[in-house]
């Protein structure tokens, strides 16, 4: 009775040839899939990567941390009395400037306990598999069926609940306010950089595995494939550029959320029981947010950023009844699920399984990423990556490629076609134009007599530079004052920085508006601008201060 009646998200079956070009394939299915928010991609049957996590040594000895999820509290719980400082999910932004202690970021707080998530014990895969099997068998009464257990006596020893049985039971637990406690473990957000990835790495001894080690679908390669602007982020941000692992058991859940910076994500199920997904298109993101607020007003009143905490579930039936289109996908072992920019997604696991996920940023993401950082600034939310660094990095590389082609007459040596994102209406040109117009408007609002200075090239190389007020990233420009030269604001919050006289204050610019306009003309294909930019690139990059 609780099983939601939800339409399926689309499923794609790439041919071997189509499967060779990962981002090309994603671009091909986008017009068919993006409006569903999520889609399932089934690799060709011949694509069967071996999983190093299943090797005896790893399986029996490698320990991973888990959290405990109280499934019956994911939607219905009393609001807490005191303000929450909870951190349910290890935040990706914690890793922005290099290594961070994950244990610190993952530490359960008192608030966590009240919210139904706290840290569980460590497990090996072998131990977790046993625990998961015992739980599922006793829950569904497939073994040792006790009188009164949910699916008791009538079921035979070999009976297995179907995905639909599990889904119905899951939503009964989540939606019934007075149901019994159901506690499960989830080995979530495990850093593959520390624990190891489920995909093969290139090795000198097993060249037969190179096909998988080098594949664009190997999630270790995926974020920085040619055509993803994440190529221009040098640091290995865990969870964004380095995949995370998810070791699941029956009912372990991922609650409604969008990806950091509204990035795309790709999730691969290495093995085990299915993962059930629900997705909402990015074009309905604010409708989902409004519906969640309307249904869970107490939780939101207390914690306005509840959706960023990834701890709250809401039945797809409710969303559907409120006119928010939701689609469902059942991901089986060996299959991918792709989520599009700003697509809310949630779901749960049907039993012991292991998945791996990471982000990617093709050029069509740039406009979504720009919207994301403007939204983050309004919400005073920290960023995980420097959007402007990705944008300028791409533009610089594009002009370099255009210069080599149009001036040197070189055939493109780059393994991506920069031409396709440049030109008057190219995705990269458009993204840069939008950003430069924004920058111009913000500069225009500052007092005319405010001094402009060249930003040092390495301004944000070793330090994260963010607005003291809204945390906006300061890669492109920053405002400061002689009174506190190590304190910076974005252009929008320059007035709040201090109360010193205007002649004490200044703006640091990586590029002047004239230089940025030249960059736009170069991207549009004007040869003079391409030459000028290419010849000046080193100095424009801020070597002379
Ligand atoms: C995410 O949404 C992951 O971050 C899904 O792709 C998480 O598998 C999960 O639990």
Q: Per-residue confidence at 156, pLDDT binned at 50, 70, 90?
A: low
Compute the distance from residue 239 Cα to the ligand 1 centre, in Å: 10
Picking from 223, 222, 227, 202, the residue whose alpha carbon sits closest to that of residue 212 is 202
Helix (H) or strand (E) holding 110: helix 110-114
pLDDT at 95 exceeding the cut of 50: no
The token duo for 21 is: 């070009």
* Secondary structure of 502-522 as H, E, C letters: HHHEEEEECCCHHHHHHHHHH
The reply to whether ligand 1 has any atom less than 6 angstroms from the CB of 254 is yes
Residue whose Cα lies nearest atom 1 of ligand 1: it is 357
C-alpha distances out from residue 90 to 66, 95, 103, 104, 244, Å: 12, 10, 9, 9, 11
Q: What is the pLDDT of residue 413?
A: 63
| Model confidence pLDDT, tens digit, residues 403-424 | 999 888 887 766 689 999 999 9
Compute the distance from residue 357 Cα to the ligand 1 centre, in Å: 6
Compute the distance from residue 254 Cα to the ligand 1 centre, in Å: 6
pLDDT at 152 exceeding the cut of 60: no
The reply to whether ligand 1 has any atom less than 6 angstroms from the CB of 346 is no
117 vs 124 pLDDT, higher one: 124
The reply to whether ligand 1 has any atom less than 6 angstroms from the CB of 357 is yes
Compute the distance from residue 346 Cα to the ligand 1 centre, in Å: 8
Q: What is the pLDDT of residue 305?
A: 85
259 by DSSP, 3-state: which? Answer: coil
CA distance 511 to 295: 47
Compute the distance from residue 224 Cα to the ligand 1 centre, in Å: 19
**DSSP classification of residue 100:** -
Do residues 219 and 243 lie in contact, with contact meaning Cβ atoms separated by under 8 Å?
Answer: yes
Compute the distance from residue 337 Cα to the ligand 1 centre, in Å: 10
For residue 545, with 0-12 CB atoms within 10 Å meaning exposed, 13-18 middle and 19 or more buried, which class applies?
exposed
pTM of the model: 0.92
The reply to whether ligand 1 has any atom less than 6 angstroms from the CB of 267 is yes
Ligand 1 atom nearest the C-alpha of 188 is 10
Q: What are phi and psi of 324, to 5 degrees?
A: -90, 115
C-alpha distances out from residue 416 to 104, 428, 440, 521, Å: 40, 13, 31, 21
Compute the distance from residue 536 Cα to the ligand 1 centre, in Å: 44
Q: At what angle do helices 387-406 and 527-538 cross, to 10 degrees?
A: 120
Residue whose Cα lies nearest atom 7 of ligand 1: it is 254
**DSSP classification of residue 33:** H
CA distance 445 to 387: 22
Mutate to test the pocket of ligand 1, among 185, 219, 244, 246 (most ligand atoms within 8 A of CB): 246
Mutate to test the pocket of ligand 1, among 265, 276, 310, 332 (most ligand atoms within 8 A of CB): 265
Mutate to test the pocket of ligand 1, among 329, 345, 348, 353 (most ligand atoms within 8 A of CB): 345
Q: What is the pLDDT of residue 159?
A: 87
E strands in 67-122: 67-70, 117-119
Compute the distance from residue 243 Cα to the ligand 1 centre, in Å: 11
Q: State the ipTM, two decimals.
A: 0.94
Q: Per-residue confidence at 96, pLDDT binned at 50, 70, 90?
A: very low
Ligand 1 atom nearest the C-alpha of 257 is 2
Mean pLDDT of 303-312: 84
Compute the distance from residue 439 Cα to the ligand 1 centre, in Å: 35
Q: Per-residue confidence at 264, pLDDT binned at 50, 70, 90?
A: very high
Q: What is the pLDDT of residue 143?
A: 64
| Model confidence pLDDT, tens digit, residues 466-511 | 999 999 999 999 999 999 999 999 999 999 999 999 999 999 999 9
CA distance 33 to 335: 16
CA distance 340 to 27: 11
């Amino acid at each position: 009775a609780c099983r939601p009646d939800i339409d399926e998200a689309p499923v794609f079956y790439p041919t071997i040839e189509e499967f060779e070009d990962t981002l090309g394939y994603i671009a091909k299915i986008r017009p068919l899939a993006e409006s569903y928010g999520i889609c399932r991609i089934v690799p060709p049957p011949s694509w069967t990567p071996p999983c190093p996590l299943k090797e005896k040594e790893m399986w029996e000895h490698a320990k991973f941390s888990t959290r405990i999820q109280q499934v019956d509290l994911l939607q219905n719980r009393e609001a807490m009395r005191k303000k929450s400082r909870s951190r349910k999910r290890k935040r990706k932004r914690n890793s922005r400037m290099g290594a961070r202690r994950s244990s610190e970021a993952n530490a359960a707080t008192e608030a966590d306990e009240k919210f139904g998530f706290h840290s569980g014990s460590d497990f090996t895969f072998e131990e977790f598999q046993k625990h998961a099997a015992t739980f599922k068998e006793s829950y569904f009464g497939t073994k040792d069926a006790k009188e009164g257990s949910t699916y008791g006596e009538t079921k035979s020893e070999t009976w297995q609940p179907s995905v639909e049985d599990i889904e119905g039971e899951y939503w009964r637990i989540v939606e019934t306010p007075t149901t019994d406690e159901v506690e499960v473990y989830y080995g979530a957000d495990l850093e593959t950089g520390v624990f190891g990835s489920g995909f093969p790495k290139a090795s000198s001894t097993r060249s037969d595995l190179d096909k998988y080690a080098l594949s664009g679908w190997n999630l270790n390669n995926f974020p920085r494939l040619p055509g993803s602007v994440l190529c221009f982020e040098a640091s290995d941000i865990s969870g964004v550029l380095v995949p995370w692992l998810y070791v699941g058991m029956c009912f372990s859940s991922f609650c409604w959320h969008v990806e950091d910076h509204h990035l795309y994500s790709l999730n691969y199920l290495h093995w085990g029981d299915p993962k059930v997904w629900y997705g909402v298109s990015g074009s309905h993101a604010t409708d989902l947010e409004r519906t969640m607020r309307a249904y869970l007003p107490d939780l939101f009143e207390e914690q306005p950023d509840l959706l960023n905490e990834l701890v709250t579930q809401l039945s797809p039936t409710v969303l559907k009844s409120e006119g928010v289109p939701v689609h469902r996908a059942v991901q089986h072992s060996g299959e991918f699920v792709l989520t599009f920019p700003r697509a809310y997604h949630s779901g749960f696991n049907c039993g012991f399984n292991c998945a791996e996920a990471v982000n990617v940023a093709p050029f069509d993401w740039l406009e979504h990423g720009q919207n994301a950082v403007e939204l983050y600034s309004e919400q005073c939310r920290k960023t995980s990556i420097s959007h402007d660094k990705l944008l300028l990095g791409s533009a610089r590389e594009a002009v370099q490629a255009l210069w080599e082609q149009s001036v040197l007459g070189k055939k493109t040596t780059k393994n991506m076609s920069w031409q396709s994102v440049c030109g008057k209406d190219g995705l990269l040109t458009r993204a840069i134009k939008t950003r430069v117009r924004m920058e111009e408007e913000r500069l225009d609002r500052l007092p005319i007599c405010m001094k402009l200075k060249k930003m040092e090239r390495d301004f944000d190389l070793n330090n994260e530079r963010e607005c003291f007020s809204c945390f906006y990233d300061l890669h492109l420009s920053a405002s400061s004052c002689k009174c506190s030269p190590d304190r910076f604001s974005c252009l929008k919050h320059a007035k709040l920085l201090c109360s010193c006289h205007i002649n004490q204050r200044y703006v640091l610019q990586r590029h002047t508006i004239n230089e940025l306009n030249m960059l736009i003309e170069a991207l549009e294909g004007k040869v003079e601008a391409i030459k000028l930019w290419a010849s000046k690139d080193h100095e424009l990059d801020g070597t002379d201060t």
